[in-house]
Amino acid sequence: MRKILETERLSLREFNLEDSDFVLKLINSPKWIEFIGDRNIKTNVEAEGYLKNNLIKSYKENGFGLWVVVLKETNVSIRMCGLVNRDTLEDIDIGFAMLPEYLGMGYGYEIANATMNYAKNTLHLDKIVGITNPNNIASIKLLNKIGLRFEKTIELSEKDTVLFFSTPTDTKEENEISKLTTRFFSLFTNAGGKIPNVEDIENIFITNGIIISNTHGVPETYNINEFITPRKKMLSDGTLTDFSEREISHKTEIYRNVAQRFSFYEKSGKLNGSYFESRGMKTIQFIKVGLDWKMSSVAWSDEK
């Protein structure tokens, strides 16, 4: 069995037929069934067939494929990660899945980032993309973390709609816009004893910027001052506590001195003592003023 690469804690190698027990467990795990789909593989014999006709076959045809991730310390298989050459995509995409008991330990980023570097530096693949189920928040976050950004929604088949992620083309400008967006989200955070700095919104927006809430289908429009006052009060008088909101994924488009960002985000906190959490979509418009980007408008709609 050929070793592909090593990281500090993990090694990546080719699958072989002896991995049928692990494959059977992985593809019947709850997250695989929910986000990837039921492969209807219920026996070791069927798992061996899946290995032979899919995973191992890709090594011979493409020189790469999905590989097994092994803990170096214990030699236990925990994850699948690698590169997929699909008939339905123009580019090679990165794929991954993990046994549930090993989630939240940083293994996903460690091996996915190493795989991206291997694809670029060893296989000399010019472009790697990513696809994922729209409801797979962990996968979306990981794709963002390894440098891929949401680009569009595509249909792999009639019943399989996925989010498509690719490498941003204008990294410097997008980084500046990302910093401004992160700064905007952080203005309202009062979790962990942080004091919100709502007034800083005046430095983020152009003078005549507007903010629109359209969660209920009836637009509520504010200028900057109208927006600041009630939110500052809610965040400081005990009405809204332990509050924070953050981006899950985004798509940014830039054309010279204007830009737009679709920001899928989540927020949580306590409203009048009752805990809540929700997700939503913000659309943010940017204007370049001299050398600096400023927001010109923000509109959002939360999930009901």
Q: What is the CATH number of the domain that holds 282?
A: 3.10.450.50
Domain that holds residue 200: 171-302
Domain end, chosen from 138, 166, 194, is at 166
Are 30 and 139 members of one domain?
Answer: yes
Are 151 and 10 members of one domain?
Answer: yes
Q: Work out the pLDDT band at 168, boundaries 50, 70, 90.
A: confident
CATH at residue 55: 3.40.630.30
Are 180 and 113 members of one domain?
Answer: no
pTM of the model: 0.66
Are 54 and 200 members of one domain?
Answer: no
SS3 167: coil
Are 191 and 131 members of one domain?
Answer: no
Residues contacting 167, CB < 8 A, separation 6+: 127, 128, 129, 147, 148, 149
Residues contacting 59, CB < 8 A, separation 6+: 14, 65
Are 153 and 18 members of one domain?
Answer: yes
Return the minimum-mean-pLDDT range out of 5-14, 70-79, 183-192: 183-192
Q: Is the pLDDT of residue 170 over 70?
A: no
Distances in Å between the Cα of 282 and the Cα atoms of 154, 165, 191 are 21, 18, 21
Are 291 and 176 members of one domain?
Answer: yes
Instruction: Give the model confidence (pLDDT) of 216-266 as tens digits.
Output: 889 999 999 999 999 999 999 999 999 999 998 888 888 889 999 999 999
Q: Work out the pLDDT band at 207, boundaries 50, 70, 90.
A: very high
Please give the pLDDT value at position 35: 92
Which parts of the chain are beta strand (E)?
A: 3-6, 10-13, 66-71, 77-84, 92-98, 128-132, 149-157, 160-166, 205-213, 220-223, 240-255, 258-271, 274-289, 292-302
Please give the pLDDT value at position 213: 94
